[in-house]
Structure 1
Amino acid sequence: MGSSRLKSRRRQDLGSKWARVAIAIFSTVGVIDTGSITLNKWGLIGTLNCPGGLGGCDKVLNSPWGTLIQSNNYSIPLSLMGFISYFLILLMAALPLLPILNNQKNNISKVAWWGSFYISTSTFIFSLILISIMIFKINAFCFFCLLSCLISLLLLILNVFGGGWEDYGKLFFRGFVVSVAVLLSGLIWSSSVDPSTKQVSNNIQGIPPAVVTISSPEKINLAEHLTKEGAVMYNAYWCPHCHDQKEMFGKEAAKKLNLVECAKDGFNNKRELCEAKGITGFPSWEINGSIDSGVKSLKELAELSNYKNTKDF
């Protein structure tokens, strides 16, 4: 009887081996998913093949919520946080399965299950916040974001039902505390980067609203090429289409464009030049001596200016 009880307790501590294997598989998919996004944001790989349309993925991943830290020298995409989370879950699932750690298997297994539970709970709650932002704020569809949310949910379910927990009351209480902490932190962060909360500071007479999307290296290269070739974008600070055009480039690339303010009450305006050029619509692009009005796609601008580099915008 004593031996049977001890065997049951050991099995309970170790949890389900098959659940660990499943967690390792799903977390590997998560590592690939978030790792691909991170490498793409850093310009180390080309365009991602996004089911449901690349435009939606590009809009979501280049939104203000797609970057955790941004400076002139480097950027840390939010996907890197997801990559680290999935990698740690993969590590915790794999460690107890290593034969070399058999002597400490029980202790390592218990710590690994708790660690995996905390991280998968945090990842799932944060994914829900991001999905809400994607739907209600960005108004776009991103397959990679939905995949990450689904993976985090599956990992949480596998942790709850495969961990061999002795006290589910303790498990759910800790899960609730972690969920509330992540939810509050996530909402504070999302509000701090929400461009709509900064709209008042940008609503100054004569000053265009700030560009908030993040530029990829390809977009910066195109902006530098356009300026080098003498391309000019004529715009007005109050023009929403002009703002949309600059948002396509992102804030880093937009700073490198040759922009001419045409509004009479615009800051540093060159009204006389605009009139001399016959500018009547905004935005208007002057490329290779030809002036054409209307918002242009980045690929169209690349073709008009004979841009030879990669066009993975």
Structure 2
Amino acid sequence: MSRRRSIPWIYRWSRPIIGVIAVAGAILTAYLTITKLMGGEVSCGVEAAKTGATGCKSVLDSPYATVFGLPLSLLGFLAYISMVTFSLGPLFVKLDNNKRLRKQFEDWTWLLLLAGGTSMAIFSGYLMYILATKLQTLCYYCISSAIFSLFLMGFTIIGREWEETGQIFFIPIIVAMITLVGTLGVYAGVNGPTADSRTPIPVPNTQPQPPNGWNITTTSGGAEIALAKHLTAIGAKEYGTFWCPHCFEQKQLFGKEAFKEIDYIECSPNGKNSDPQACVTAGIKSYPTWEIKGQVFRGTQLPKKLAEVSGYEGSMDFKYTMPVH
């Protein structure tokens, strides 16, 4: 009488484990997507707000956080939902009457899990590289998602007994190459210089100190000063905080001489000449935010854009553009 072979626990529980991890990732990316689309701010914790740690927001507002005009978190949400479907689908779809079809269904979903997990892990790895070398800041949401992706790939590989060992080497290698080439193609425009770049803006690599934050290091040209005076003359306002990297970028675009002419409202209680209540009254949800002729413009704005929306008719010979990463 032959003894029935014992099935390792990881083989029995791998699909539920993968499903739980994917659900956690879907919840995280859904939160980021909804917050982004609603124009709100992600929560980085009470301590982060006190110390001015802006990694979460600065990363999620960076050019790397948008792909084909869509929030990257939305694509991440769709990827996690796909992993949920592939992992838990065979547990709920009853094919007991057709064992051959059920086995095919399980085999195909495992292959999709392997391809999906590998692609997500490689893409997340590239984003971690960008986080460390280009953005040089911390983003706990990004790191969490990268860990989820790594675990998804790991549990997919060890979660079953593969009949053909070559599958767990051949498929990941092919998927990794395709993912890496596609990722580099998508972000080619972000990593390269902008079409109209002239002088890159210095990017801070130190922590901002209250009440002033980073010192403006650029000098203004005549066009920047004229534009700043024009904006103030028509009642335009800029809302920001001393700890906001994008606010600093905006200051650098104008230069220290021109920025003195801007009607700037400090929203952080720890900032110089702050007026948090004015920011609350104006409904400011992100920094910087411009209020020009009754219109609201969120995020760092190029001088050319501010000139167009404000009706400025002076010199357009602006010195600086967005930072080149």
Normalising by the smaller structure, the TM-score range is: 0.5 to 0.7
Which of 10, 22, 26 is the aligned partner of 1:27?
22
Contact 2:266–2:275 at 8 Å: present in 1 too?
A: no
**Which amino acid counterpart does residue 41 of structure 1 have in structure 2?**
K
> C-alpha distance in 2, partners of 1:108/1:166?
15
RMSD between superposed Cα atoms in Å: 3.7
**What is the DSSP-based 3-state SS (H/G/I as helix, E as strand, rest coil) of the residue aligned with 2:43?**
coil
Instruction: Evaluate the alpha carbon distance shift between residue 192 and residue 231 of structure 1 in structure 2; reply closer, same or farther with a 3 A threshold.
Output: closer
> C-alpha distance in 2, partners of 1:91/1:191?
32
1:230 is displaced (CA, Å) by 1.6
**Which amino acid counterpart does residue 202 of structure 1 have in structure 2?**
S
| Matching of residue 198 in structure 1 with residue 200 in structure 2 | no
Question: Which residue does the alignment assign to 1:111?
Answer: 108
Question: Which residue does the alignment assign to 2:260?
Answer: 284
**Which amino acid counterpart does residue 236 of structure 2 have in structure 1?**
A
| Matching of residue 92 in structure 1 with residue 86 in structure 2 | yes
**What is the DSSP-based 3-state SS (H/G/I as helix, E as strand, rest coil) of the residue aligned with 2:38?**
coil
Instruction: Evaluate the alpha carbon distance shift between residue 177 and residue 286 of structure 1 in structure 2; reply closer, same or farther with a 3 A threshold.
Output: closer
| Matching of residue 77 in structure 1 with residue 75 in structure 2 | no
Q: Number of paired residues? A: 238
- 1:186-213: CA deviation from partner (whole Å, max 9, x where unpaired): 123223222xx22573217xxx97xxxx
**Which amino acid counterpart does residue 179 of structure 1 have in structure 2?**
A
> C-alpha distance in 1, partners of 2:175/2:107?
18
TM-score, normalised with respect to structure 1: 0.64
- Structure 2 residues without counterparts, runs of 5 or longer: 202-230, 239-244, 287-325
Contact 2:22–2:81 at 8 Å: present in 1 too?
A: yes
Which of 156, 161, 178 is the aligned partner of 1:159?
156
Instruction: Evaluate the alpha carbon distance shift between residue 51 and residue 296 of structure 1 in structure 2; reply closer, same or farther with a 3 A threshold.
Output: closer
| Matching of residue 102 in structure 1 with residue 96 in structure 2 | yes
**What is the DSSP-based 3-state SS (H/G/I as helix, E as strand, rest coil) of the residue aligned with 2:54?**
helix
Question: Which residue does the alignment assign to 1:68?
Answer: 67
Which of 241, 245, 248 is the aligned partner of 2:247?
245
Percent of paired sites with the same residue: 25
Question: Which residue does the alignment assign to 1:146?
Answer: 143
> C-alpha distance in 1, partners of 2:233/2:275?
13
**What is the DSSP-based 3-state SS (H/G/I as helix, E as strand, rest coil) of the residue aligned with 1:141?**
coil
Instruction: Evaluate the alpha carbon distance shift between residue 285 and residue 32 of structure 1 in structure 2; reply closer, same or farther with a 3 A threshold.
Output: farther
Instruction: Evaluate the alpha carbon distance shift between residue 286 and residue 175 of structure 1 in structure 2; reply closer, same or farther with a 3 A threshold.
Output: closer
Contact 2:42–2:56 at 8 Å: present in 1 too?
A: no
- Structure 1 residues without counterparts, runs of 5 or longer: 71-75, 210-225, 234-242, 250-258, 264-279
1:44 is displaced (CA, Å) by 6.8
| Matching of residue 303 in structure 1 with residue 276 in structure 2 | yes
Instruction: Evaluate the alpha carbon distance shift between residue 126 and residue 67 of structure 1 in structure 2; reply closer, same or farther with a 3 A threshold.
Output: same
Instruction: Evaluate the alpha carbon distance shift between residue 231 and residue 189 of structure 1 in structure 2; reply closer, same or farther with a 3 A threshold.
Output: same
TM-score, normalised with respect to structure 2: 0.62
| Matching of residue 171 in structure 1 with residue 165 in structure 2 | no
Question: Which structure: greater helix fraction?
Answer: 1
**What is the DSSP-based 3-state SS (H/G/I as helix, E as strand, rest coil) of the residue aligned with 2:157?**
helix
**What is the DSSP-based 3-state SS (H/G/I as helix, E as strand, rest coil) of the residue aligned with 1:149?**
helix
**Which amino acid counterpart does residue 247 of structure 2 have in structure 1?**
Q
> C-alpha distance in 1, partners of 2:233/2:57?
26
> C-alpha distance in 2, partners of 1:203/1:69?
25
> C-alpha distance in 1, partners of 2:77/2:180?
19
Contact 2:23–2:84 at 8 Å: present in 1 too?
A: yes
- 1:115-157: CA deviation from partner (whole Å, max 9, x where unpaired): 0110110000000000100110011100011111111111111
Instruction: Evaluate the alpha carbon distance shift between residue 286 and residue 169 of structure 1 in structure 2; reply closer, same or farther with a 3 A threshold.
Output: closer
- 1:3-54: CA deviation from partner (whole Å, max 9, x where unpaired): 99xx98xx89xx9230001001100111011111111110176532459835
